[in-house]
Structure 1
């Protein structure tokens, strides 16, 4: 591993570059900032070798872009992009984004916003279920969100005008953009032509087939799958892995290379492993974090731990994790593939099945986890609102039910709980946040030039 030969004084710089490209798979001269690309260019050779050997990722670095081509072993229902206001893209915005990239690839050096909208509208009209009507404000807003996403990454840059003016009134507003063709070309580089896919499984990694490769190759592939999971997920539980992957997760060498590559620290427990990001530069969701939802989620995690461990209350019901929904997610995506556009002569369905010796974890005894029901969750959130509500955002003070859903969704995204019918299962990693302490600062509208000696904060545990 090249990282092990880097001088200790330079290792921090190298690890910052690794975290940067693992967080932003496309880096340009302006995205995410102007210092990012020079940093990656400095360590391009070392990163190219280490990312390929450790994770199976391919890195391409040019004068104007750095592009990381990752490998997916499974579909992630929580993955995706968002607007500049952190609103997740919906299907319409994704469609406009894809069509805009295609239109920019055919354009010259500049393009106006109305011209780009015309190209996207023309292409959308040939696709069932997709259309762009510039006389509809909702369509214009969605299209401008897609354009803003491209502009933020440097694919286009505003030369004149204002996209907001066009979104408000396309008859009087206009914007002109310069096109960076190198960034446009780097944006969309699938491993296979989408017209050659019968199933989204064709975009997933090919597991090693024991009938055709050596045991060493199969072991190396299992190690890379586990490392990719550690990078992509908040925590990796052994119960969710097959036998070969569970063995690799238990080996210290599996995480040792990731620690050197990223600077993160592996936290190992009997149930699984998590890479702890003390820098806050690799995680897309910081937890604990700021904001009402994050703070309530932290409090709720502590309350769940207290409920599970409370000896004075009846022991909670214990259940195994719900069945894996990956196949259902694949089927849902496959159902949206426009079959008329598939070139059947070259169509690929997906990776080969796992070898017979690579049994899934379903063959092992499935551990059970304590459950807390929806009524307890709702009651607990109401209690938190009563105690700390004056510090919450106004919208959540008036909507405890919505706050409950948002807090539970955040905990589920972090693999601290798992949703089941009627409640949630408390997963092992949630124990990290047992006994959370909250300090609430008193706010006095009157300025007291001679405060008394009473404390300015109230502490609650």
Structure 2
């Protein structure tokens, strides 16, 4: 590992480059910021060797881009594309994004927004169940969101005009974009030719794709890489979620130490698993605890759940829960693979309309939050859906005046999004009857809440005044 040979004074700089490249598989001159690409280019040789040795990843660095080609061991729906306003992409936006990339790949050095929309609209005519009509405001908004995603990553740069003006009135508004062709070509680089795949599992590692069909011999080095990949890709790695041959590897000091040295993060080890704690904020896609209504209510709910689990007078039932291997998601994606057309009609993969509709996830920690083995199968505390909804409503009754306006009027939606956040952090796993409580949630028990309010004598609010619950806790990844 090249990190062992880097001077102590330069190691922090190298680790920052490693965190950036792991968090952003595509780095350009402007994305995620203007200092990221020069930083990665400075350490390109060392990063390339260490990424290959530790994780099996391939790194390509050019003058204008740095592209990581990761190895996928499982499907993960927890990192969706998002709009500039942080809304999750829906099916239509994903489709427009893919078709816009195809159009840009055939374009010259510049293109207007209306031209790009015309190309995408023409492509949608070949796709059953998809359409882009510039006469519909919803279609224009979705298309502009896809264009904004490309703009943020530097694939196209606004040269003149305003996309928002075009979205409001395509007859009066227009925008002109410069096309950065190396970024466009770097964005879509699948590991295999998609038209040759018969299953989405073909995008996974050969070992993962073959595991459901027949045993596949794996070397000790590849097992170690799988464990390291899990450490940097998951908020928490629970021992029970790993394959039998991977569990002893997670307990090896060197495996975790190598990842700590490469990333500069600190590993928190427990009997149930390992979590890398990112206090830098440069590797995590979710900062928790954090600001905003969702993060603060999630922390409050985590504390309430921990108290409920530890209530010896009202013990919770326990239930086993198999880890989510992504098989259900793979089956849904495979159902959308076309047989007679270019693309099959797009289908909903997941609904967040209700708490019960959330996907099912993981578990076990100290003080009653540890999983218990019954007949060789781990079981975990189960809090029912009704209790979760009532608790979120109680939190809203107590702190609702400090919530963002959209959540004050939608407590049910708030409960759904808060649980989704806790599940993405692998603190709970959603099952039919409620939530299985995972061990890492215990580190957020005992959150202290202070509500700061404006003094009656004040006429104006100073910048230091806040109107939300000031929740304190330990920074996680």
CA deviation after TM superposition for structure 1 residue 125, in Å = 0.6
Q: Give distance in 2, aligned partners of 1:241 and 1:323.
A: 9
Q: How do 1:305-324 residues align onto structure 2 when only pairs under 5 Å count?
A: 305-313=306-314, 315-322=315-322, 324=324
CA deviation after TM superposition for structure 1 residue 244, in Å = 0.8
In the superposition, relative to structure 1, how do residues 145 and 398 fare at CA in structure 2: closer, same or farther (>3 Å)? Answer: closer
CA deviation after TM superposition for structure 1 residue 440, in Å = 1.5
Q: Which moves more between the two structures, 320-329 or 369-378?
A: 320-329
**Contact 1:19–1:262 (Cα < 8 Å) also in 2:** yes
Instruction: Give SS of 2:130's match.
Output: coil
Q: Give distance in 2, aligned partners of 1:316 and 1:29.
A: 53
In the superposition, relative to structure 1, how do residues 89 and 405 fare at CA in structure 2: closer, same or farther (>3 Å)? Answer: same
Output the TM-score relative to the length of structure 1.
Answer: 0.89
For 2:287, the equivalent position in structure 1 comes to 286
For 2:28, the equivalent position in structure 1 comes to 28
Q: Does the alignment pair 1:404 with 2:404?
A: no
CA deviation after TM superposition for structure 1 residue 460, in Å = 9.4
Q: Deviations over 1:328-358 (max 9, x none)?
A: 211110111122368xxxxxxxxxxxxxxxx
Instruction: Give SS of 2:31's match.
Output: coil
Q: How do 1:111-126 residues align onto structure 2 when only pairs under 5 Å count?
A: 111-126=111-126
Q: Give distance in 2, aligned partners of 1:459 and 1:79.
A: 27
CA deviation after TM superposition for structure 1 residue 79, in Å = 2.1
Instruction: Give SS of 1:75's match.
Output: coil
Q: Give distance in 2, aligned partners of 1:458 and 1:290.
A: 10
**Contact 2:296–2:471 (Cα < 8 Å) also in 1:** no
For 1:246, the equivalent position in structure 2 comes to 247
Instruction: Give SS of 2:158's match.
Output: strand
Larger radius of gyration: 1
Instruction: Give SS of 1:118's match.
Output: helix
CA deviation after TM superposition for structure 1 residue 322, in Å = 4.6
CA deviation after TM superposition for structure 1 residue 448, in Å = 9.1
**Contact 1:223–1:245 (Cα < 8 Å) also in 2:** yes
Q: Give distance in 2, aligned partners of 1:394 and 1:444.
A: 22
Q: Give distance in 2, aligned partners of 1:219 and 1:316.
A: 40
Q: Deviations over 1:412-453 (max 9, x none)?
A: 11110111112111111101111111122122242399xxxx
Q: Does the alignment pair 1:427 with 2:427?
A: no
For 2:424, the equivalent position in structure 1 comes to 413
Q: Give distance in 1, aligned partners of 2:207 and 2:402.
A: 50
For 2:189, the equivalent position in structure 1 comes to 189
Instruction: Give SS of 2:232's match.
Output: helix
For 2:15, the equivalent position in structure 1 comes to 15
Instruction: Give SS of 1:18's match.
Output: helix
Structure 1: 5+ residue stretches without partners: 343-361, 450-455
Instruction: Give SS of 1:418's match.
Output: strand
Q: Give distance in 2, aligned partners of 1:290 and 1:421.
A: 30
**Contact 2:299–2:471 (Cα < 8 Å) also in 1:** no
Q: CA RMSD in A?
A: 2.6
Q: Which moves more between the two structures, 160-169 or 94-103?
A: 160-169
CA deviation after TM superposition for structure 1 residue 405, in Å = 1.6
Q: Does the alignment pair 1:338 with 2:338?
A: yes
Output the TM-score relative to the length of structure 2.
Answer: 0.86
Q: Give distance in 2, aligned partners of 1:235 and 1:323.
A: 13
Q: Give distance in 2, aligned partners of 1:457 and 1:81.
A: 28
Instruction: Give SS of 1:273's match.
Output: strand
Q: Give distance in 1, aligned partners of 2:468 and 2:103.
A: 57
Could you list the runs of 4 or more consecutive aligned residues of structure 1 that deviate by over 3 angstroms after TM superposition? Answer: 212-215, 322-325, 456-461
Instruction: Give SS of 2:73's match.
Output: coil
**Contact 2:74–2:325 (Cα < 8 Å) also in 1:** no
**Contact 1:239–1:366 (Cα < 8 Å) also in 2:** no
For 2:370, the equivalent position in structure 1 comes to none
Q: Does the alignment pair 1:102 with 2:102?
A: yes
